[in-house]
A and B are shown apart, each in its own frame.
Chain A
Amino acid sequence: MNLLLLYLLLLKATATSFSGLTSLPVVRNDLVVRYQVLTDRQLNAAVVAGQTGPGPYGLYVVSVGYFVAGVPGAFCGYLAMITPAFLIIPMLRYLGARARHPGARSAIQGVTLAAAGLIVASAIPLAQDALTGAAAVAIAIASFLVLIATRLDTLWVIAGSAVAGLVAGFLA
């Protein structure tokens, strides 16, 4: 498949979705059904790869590009993933100039509090999926307490959780 076409098809998918995996139906329709350059099995593997590694789930688009056209295809997927991110800057410029108005400040506070709600709402399914045993619950609580009560670098909490998971895996 032509790399420019691959980029444009993946960009169409990323630029019309508003979170990680919501672009999936568009990707499947174009690459699996219409152009037949990707199989459902490969698409599934791409989603798993995107969720297994660090970073956002939207990274699965990079894996899709890789399965379609190797490393150059992965690069097309990468560009399609990062391009829409820069649309936020004109929005921020517009709102930033108005952010001193008391009404705008109060509205932004409302959004900030809703952001806390959004984080909790997306933590619930992750907790249901990840906190399946006593060890995982202990890691989650310990992470929360260390992060809330100390100024320790977040990296140490990540490293400690990996080691704790490994120890729990050995003991299980």
Chain B
Amino acid sequence: MSRPSLRELAALFARIPNLTFGGGDPTMAALQRELVARRGWLAPEQYGLAFGLARLTPGTNLLAFCAAAAWLLRGALGAVLAVLAASAPAAIVVVALSYGYQALKGNALAMSVIAGLLASAVGMMATAAWRLVRPHVRRGEGLRALVLAGGSVALLRGVAMPPVAVLALAAVAGFFWRRSEEE
């Protein structure tokens, strides 16, 4: 794993969260690609830990995720820098939108651009989910991956179990259903 400079860290956290539409989940999906797949700054397990704990942290999950990922990479200063970089520009945009959201809502072209961005957010989320599952499938643990990931979807969508409870259950299931070399 390579360690980014504070400038590289701030640049990434300023870019992705402030340019991804559709809320925190697509943003964390886009960050997964950049942090794990493209740059190799975080291992998939570190991403999973930051993602899981972000769900257990009160407030905006994305910002807790940014604090966690940046803390793993560059400590406390990195965490503060990442949270500010990830949120300040978008906050300024929100203030501007609060001022003029009616004008934007009536503009068909602006809405077309937003529709394109939201559609791409769906593609980003599918990519992130696949990239988290793929290493397990490649190691021949497709059944374990399918049961844990697919079971989570079923519990969330089927019986509307709270995400925090699903993550806790997955941790317990993962603890008892170990990979062969972990035993």
Contact = CB atoms under 8 A, between A and B. Distances in A.
Contacts of A48: 97, 101, 105
A162 B16 CA distance: 15
B122 A52 contact: no
Per DSSP, are chain B's interface residues mostly helix, strand or loop, or mixed?
helix
- Most chain B beta carbons < 10 A, residue from A57, A123, A135, A140: A123
A84 B166 CA distance: 22
B120 A116 contact: no
Q: How large is the interface on A (under 10, 10 to 19, 20 to 34, 35 or more residues)?
A: 35 or more
A161 B69 CA distance: 27
Contacts of B166: 114, 117-118
A122 B126 CA distance: 10
B23 A121 contact: no
B95 A88 contact: no
B97 A106 contact: no
B61 A19 contact: yes
B1 interface: no
Given A16-B58, A56-B61, A86-B67, A121 B157 contact: yes
A45 to B, nearest CB: 6
18 contacts: A20-B23, A51-B23, A58-B62, A81-B63, A106-B177, A106-B178, A110-B173, A111-B49, A113-B174, A117-B150, A118-B152, A126-B125, A143-B119, A143-B124, A158-B117, A161-B120, A165-B114, A172-B112
Interface of A: 14-20, 45-46, 48-60, 62-63, 66-67, 71, 74, 78, 81-89, 91-92, 95-96, 99, 102-124, 126-127, 129-132, 135-137, 139-145, 147-148, 151, 153-155, 157-158, 160-166, 168-170, 172
